Chain A
């Protein structure tokens, strides 16, 4: 196998596949990427056995064949390669030469026959989504990340739904760690070909990998085929194995009474929370919120560090209410609010608190209080 490729054609993709190839598995071969020659270009494959990637990149093919080569080292070599034109060819005993006139690397390759197959996906009913919207949706899902050895499917995965609501096609994603929840809706373009279908669970890890390939502009094709969630760009395709398991029924939790709305200036509220969280620690995660007489008093009491308090004028005329929250949950949720005002809907110490933009837009964050 021998080909010549421009550095620019593959430098991006090599960075993007590092997450897939870098994942520690018992199958050492997945630390490699597979490079196969094709007509007028090469096909690069990477997988961590849960998420698979395949992309086509133009190259000048001089001799056909395939190689499996260490993803991290190839990326470093390409990144620092002094000139644009890179020559790649295989040699005896699976050695791979990467060279230009003056630079020469010989890398130990792996047997391409051992490389796990990326499933062939055909006849997928794709629908279109705005790439940037999908990227932002995914970001709002994966920030509620599973910890450590977490195995519960509804925490490891994100619920992905396709619904028809009020005559519109809606893609809905929901993420939770059972202490909080984030829900984002995407209203599909009528031309997108999105159809209501059964809900699926997509692992958050796979979504993180997908996100690396999503551009800030244009559209992508989305499909669900068999056991896979598929994202297809013009020359690239990513498949994520779906998870088995149930997502708890969250709809009854989301009922809000509009009379309980409280409004904040987003930036100020965010800074206030950050000021209050300075004195929290792993052991003292809670900040006390005291609502009374059109005022919110926040305070942190941490026996080992000290105390802090701050007040803010708000619209609150109900009975005094005192409860505690993990301020990190608030900060992370409010960061995703796109409007200048934040709407908080809060009932009592036992009920979930809602954070949402003050327009009637599509994202919603739900946080359970703590008791101190």
Chain B
């Protein structure tokens, strides 16, 4: 008797479900993707109890005939690809042919679907993977898929479901991803009979972003546009003031598919070039259009991950697209840009001033933008604005406590010209310059500001291409690990343009013949290993340039005036005007703010002149 047997199909579908159907949100994701692939422009998602008892997705797409519908719940049955070569050119969101049978294997599953050329819809009911009934019914054009009692026959999996709040949070995420991916589609999410999200079709994707994150985000959006022959990048990046400790507010869509990709996220951070503090991530919505042959989406059953054939090119496209976006104007800002610092906390006293300890921002709304629409929903609103439903500041994500006060108000980038109108008041504690700009009291950290000025000067010289190179009397040999040397070998050309003349000497040995004069006194081996490990980590980091940048920052830092240094009035004025000329006057090269601002209203409130 053989020990190895082919698994019965129902069992193998259940196993496949383990990969594809992790939680109710994965069901929603698969069904919504099917709806989009079917060409729908309206998608209704109805869930009950966080999707644990019911998930129903209805669309107005092309629908299926009775036979196709029956086939669709067979494993590896799909209309989306037919031949092997199609796999290299996937234009649809789904293609594996696994989703429906997997879902049907672990739920009570009903499929109702009607094509345009038929008056009658097919209705199929499947329970735990077994087709229980096939019939006909009347139904509107399109497909309705109903999933009840998910995991009813896999109690092990059922145990791992989290609370309704958590599960619906994940479903909201899925709806938001779909909404951001396709602004032209109406996406409506109903939970326990109440409308949780309703995104109407819009022609300008920025409107959809505003719908998702609240209208106050609009003035903070910088459009990204980089059409290209092979890779096109578009989307919006958000002012660095809206930064975040994690990557979960970076939304990346590759050919319309929402994916999570650290490489893309790091490329974004590179594009922010010094506008972010180390370890902080921006908020952004980025669409990458790339020929299907240039990207592998078949990495993960749920297709969360992708691999690019030429990651370096993608990285550079994104970085340069984002870097260029700062040159453009943000979306027009409302005249009354909404509440300012501390506005929703009128009890605040100046002295204790929690307003200065929270991450209050210039254009933070005082009410949740979506209040009333979905009182019981956790999800994006709170995540983005750190608000709870009653409009009070929710618990802020904590950073190092020592950093909090200085970050009270970081001026947005487009107000740099304001610095030119600064009226000097004086110096505080020999460390901060006080001045008046319009209706605001502005503090400038003299060290950070000078650091920024020097950094930009040094960087300009460096970027002018005149990198002096010191030749070495005795070429230095460096032994690297196998993976590191493979990466460095690829970079030899790039490194040479930066003055690092390096030759592959066989196996894992490299010979260095010259160094950029700036780093000629440093030992090169640790630097090389550092680039190589960064390369290995992200897939693509413009290694040496980044390290040259670190060195530039270091030199700027050493050259800059310190705190506890008395400045003459003339010196302060010079510092402010030089700062105003910087490309990014609002952050030191390490990403710390150079300025912090107290609006007049805050003072007036502190003195109880207004309430």
Residues of A within 8 A of B (CB): 147-152, 176-181, 248, 250, 253, 282-286, 303-304, 324, 326, 350, 352, 366-372
Contacts and interface: CB of A to CB of B under 8 A. Distances in A.
B470 A368 contact: yes
Contact of A285 (B464, B517, B522): B517
Given A282-B555, A284-B468, A371 B514 contact: yes
Contact of B473 (A176, A285, A370): A176
Nearest to B458: A283
Can you list the 9 inter-chain pairs with the closest CB atoms, starting with the nearest?
A368-B471, A368-B473, A248-B474, A371-B469, A147-B521, A286-B468, A178-B474, A370-B470, A178-B472
Contact of A371 (B458, B468, B520): B468
Nearest to A369: B471
Contact of B471 (A152, A283, A370): A370
Contacts of B474: 176, 178, 181, 248, 250, 253
A179 B523 CA distance: 12
Contact of A286 (B514, B517, B522): B517
Nearest to A253: B473
Given A303-B461, A304-B457, A371-B514, A326 B521 contact: no
B471 A350 contact: yes
Nearest to B512: A178
Tell which of A147, A181, A283 has the most Cβ of chain B within 10 Å.
A283
Contacts of B461: 283-284, 303-304
B473 A352 contact: yes
B468 A372 contact: yes
Contacts of A324: 468
A148 B517 CA distance: 17
A251 to B, nearest CB: 11
Contact of B468 (A148, A152, A181, A370): A370
Given A282-B555, A326-B517, A179 B472 contact: yes
B424 to A, nearest CB: 26
B555 A179 contact: no
Nearest to A282: B555
Given A253-B473, A304-B457, A369-B471, 7 more contacts: A178-B476, A179-B471, A179-B472, A250-B473, A285-B517, A367-B473, A370-B471
A288 to B, nearest CB: 10
Contacts of A303: 461, 464, 466
Interface string B500-527: 0000000000000010011011110000
B518 A179 contact: no
Contacts of A179: 470-473, 520
Interface string B416-459: 00000000000000000000000000000000000000000110
A304 B474 CA distance: 32
Interface string B472-489: 111010000000000000
29 contacts: A148-B521, A151-B523, A176-B473, A177-B521, A178-B472, A178-B474, A179-B470, A179-B520, A181-B473, A248-B474, A250-B474, A253-B473, A283-B458, A283-B461, A284-B461, A285-B468, A286-B468, A286-B517, A303-B466, A304-B461, A324-B468, A326-B470, A326-B517, A350-B471, A368-B472, A370-B470, A371-B468, A371-B469, A372-B468
Contacts of A350: 471
Contact of B466 (A177, A248, A372): A372
Nearest to B559: A282
A248 to B, nearest CB: 5
B574 to A, nearest CB: 15
Nearest to B476: A178
Contacts of B517: 285-286, 326, 370
Tell which of B461, B464, B473, B521 has the most Cβ of chain A within 10 Å.
B473
A180 B476 CA distance: 13
Interface string B49-65: 00000000000000000
Contacts of A149: 523
A322 to B, nearest CB: 14
A286 B555 CA distance: 18
Interface in B173-221: none
Nearest to B499: A371
Nearest to B470: A370
Nearest to B558: A282
A369 B470 CA distance: 7
B512 to A, nearest CB: 9
A366 B473 CA distance: 8
Nearest to A349: B471
Nearest to B472: A178
A253 B474 CA distance: 8
A276 to B, nearest CB: 15
B445 to A, nearest CB: 24
Tell which of A149, A179, A286 has the most Cβ of chain B within 10 Å.
A179
B515 to A, nearest CB: 8
A326 B521 CA distance: 13
A324 B461 CA distance: 18
Interface in B109-139: none
Contact of A150 (B476, B514, B523, B555): B523
A143 to B, nearest CB: 14
A145 B518 CA distance: 17
A329 B509 CA distance: 30
A149 to B, nearest CB: 8
B517 to A, nearest CB: 5
Contacts of B520: 179
Nearest to B477: A248
B283 to A, nearest CB: 36
Nearest to A372: B468
A50 B339 CA distance: 65
A248 B468 CA distance: 25
Contacts of B464: 303
A273 to B, nearest CB: 17
Contacts of B471: 179, 350, 368-371
A285 B522 CA distance: 15
A276 B473 CA distance: 23
Contacts of A151: 523
A178 B476 CA distance: 8
B601 to A, nearest CB: 42
A79 B181 CA distance: 80
A178 B478 CA distance: 14
Nearest to A155: B523
A82 to B, nearest CB: 39
A230 to B, nearest CB: 29
Contacts of B476: 178
Contacts of B469: 370-372
